[in-house]
Amino acid sequence: MKTIYNSIILVFLIATFISCNDELTQDPIGLLTLDQIDANPTINTLESSVSSSYQLLASSLNLIGNWDWDGGAVLRNDFILQDIASNDMNKKWNPDGDQAWMDELSNFSFTPSNGAFNGIWLYDYEGINRVNLAISYLTNTEITQMVGISDSRKNQLLGEAYFLRAFYYFDLVNNFGDVPLLTAPLQSFEEAFDVAVRVPSDEIWIQINADLSEAKTLLPNTKYPDPSQPWRVSKGAVIGLQAKAALYNENWSEVVSLVSELEALGFYSLNANYFDSFDVSKEFSDDEVIFAYDHVSSQNPRNGNGLCALVGWGFIAPSDDFINSFEANDPRLLYTVDVPNQNVSKILGNTVGDNKGNDDSPSNKIFMRYADVLLWKAEALNENGDYAGAVAIINQIRSRARTSPTADGSMIPAGTLPNRGSSTSASEIKGWLMHERRVELGFESQRFNDLKRWETAKTVLTSLGRNFQDHNYVYPIPQGEVDKSGGTITQNVGY
């Protein structure tokens, strides 16, 4: 067990490939301690190794560091890299100089030293480090036999770990392109230097798909692998991420096949009410959410949704272009953001402003839901020439939206969000789909990746006055990573 403990110390000291921020003043929350890793590991040691691997998906404050705003490490910053960068979201309701590095994402004036890139790199690689440790435990027969864990529980935990590693690498490859690939705990500083080199993105995608294939064989055919802990990764989440990986690689037939496989499980459907997926009172009781991070208040260490604090501080506001993208009387706008009251309901978990300013809110972070998945299938069907099938799914999403009760209790006028008509124009249908994804998934950190994979980011963002350039299709590698690796981690072209 000493070797395993030493690997943890190395991982922490190296801080994801010899790149720890000088500003970090505390161990990452959830890091396994010496008390948990000794000569007599327990089932709890294995359980904790996997549970802690989820934490880097949280929106909790100060999981890494202590108010390290400049390093982008105060909380997970998908909303900056996706929603602000795509011009759906403004940093604040009232523009000011506070956290100017966030504004640099909206106008593409950033440099590789911008904290947004450092933050997401740290979060994703810290998550990968924890996952690799968990996998090393769960695949060590000596350890699993010593603690007496059942095969079913071991397989479930291992399936979760493989999914999480795929999830973190999915985020990294889409943000940065070629990135270092680490699939085992580090055993020496020499080994750390060896892996501090970027590998082609194709190899990252191979690893993502391999991890998901492994996870799929290990998880049970149930909606929740553990009903007492419904936040855990399920087989549905694995199949969903397989489909999303196929989508991002334009493997259209595979997208259709995988989404059909997910549908056949019978676990998911569109909620009757659009907002049920985000309603804090309906968490894990709705029919649509496939994977979410479970924020819980009053925990030690804290596990609440810190984004709600930012909403209370005046952060996270819609752009005019985002508001204007909604058709008249579309109830999804008010469910996403209440402009008069400056409430971001999807983040707060309610439509009345509760949790605004609460840095320990119980509202979950939704990473994957069924409406998103259905729109992947619609896109793939359209690309494969099944135009009627694609339009039918788009209309299914629109129908649910127009039949949802409104957030303010008003009546939805007749004729709101009419069905799209039949069409044999792939470009027309894709335009409908692009629109539907924006308004259906607003403020869910999907938009910028969509613009990039559609190769429309430059056209869309420059038309809005943003300084988007061709090299911005990938973000810069954090400059600190390049510097501290001694140049073995190279910079993306254009930065």
Q: In the chain, where are the structural domains located?
A: 1-219, 220-443
**Whether the domain at 1-219 and the domain at 220-443 fall into the same CATH topology:** yes
- Is residue 375 within 8 Å of residue 393, measured between CB atoms? yes
Those residues with Cβ within 8 angstroms of residue 465's Cβ, 6 or more apart along the chain or in another chain = none
Name the least confident of 31-35, 89-93, 109-113, 192-196. 31-35
Q: How confident is the model over 310-366, as pLDDT tens digits?
A: 999 999 999 999 999 999 999 999 999 999 999 999 999 999 999 999 999 999 999
Q: Does residue 412 carry a pLDDT above 90?
A: yes
Contact of 198 with 491, CB cutoff 8 Å: no
Mean pLDDT confidence for 374-381: 99
pLDDT digits (tens, 9 = 90+) for 54-100: 999 999 999 998 999 999 999 999 999 999 999 999 999 999 999 99
| pLDDT at position 186 | 83
Count of other CB atoms within 10 angstroms of residue 474:
18
- What lies within 8 Å, CB to CB, of 487 at 6+ separation is none
Cα separation of 179 and 16, whole Å?
A: 12
Query: What CATH architecture applies to the domain 1-219?
Result: Alpha Horseshoe (1.25)
Q: How far apart are the first and last CA of the chain?
A: 43
Q: Alpha-carbon distance 481 to 143, whole Å? A: 34
**Which pLDDT does position 41 carry in this prediction?**
84
> How far is it, in rounded angstroms, from Cα 317 to Cα 311?
8
Cα 336 to Cα 441: distance, rounded to the nearest angstrom? 9
Strands (E), 72-134: 89-92
> What average pLDDT does the segment 187-196 reach?
79
The answer for residues whose C-beta is within 8 angstroms of residue 264's C-beta and 6 or more apart is none
Buried b vs exposed e over 379-399: b needs ≥16 C-beta within 10 Å?
A: bbbbbeebbebbbebbbbbbe
pLDDT at 194: 81
The Cα 123–Cα 77 span in angstroms is 9
% pLDDT > 90, the chain: 88
Among 223, 442, 244, 473, which residue's Cα sits nearest to residue 344?
442
Q: Are 335 and 275 in contact (CB under 8 A)?
A: yes
Hey, CA dihedral for 379, 446, 216, 394, is it positive or negative?
negative
Cα 138 to Cα 3, 42, 85, 299, 334: the distances in Å are: 15, 12, 39, 27, 46
Q: What is the Cα–Cα distance from 264 to 268, expressed in whole angstroms?
A: 9
Rounded distance between C-alpha atoms, residue 426 and residue 227, angstroms: 42
In tens, the pLDDT along 5-61 reads 333 334 333 444 444 344 444 566 665 544 455 557 899 999 999 999 999 999 999
Quickly state the pLDDT bin for 193 (edges 50, 70, 90): confident
Q: Encode pLDDT of 250-305 as tens digits.
A: 999 999 999 999 999 999 999 999 999 999 999 999 999 999 999 999 999 999 99
Write the single-letter amino acid at 127: G
**Residues in a beta bridge with 369:** 289
Closest-CA residue to 402 (of 316, 495, 330): 330
**Residue type at 238 in one-letter notation:** V
What is the architecture of the domain spanning 220-443? Alpha Horseshoe (1.25)
Q: Identify each DSSP E strand in 37-137 by its residue range.
A: 89-92
DSSP helix/strand/coil, 287: coil
Q: Please give the full DSSP string across 326-387, using - where no structure is assigned.
A: SPTT-THHHHH-BTTTTB-HHHHTSSS-TTTT-TTB-PPEEEEEHHHHHHHHHHHHHHTT-H
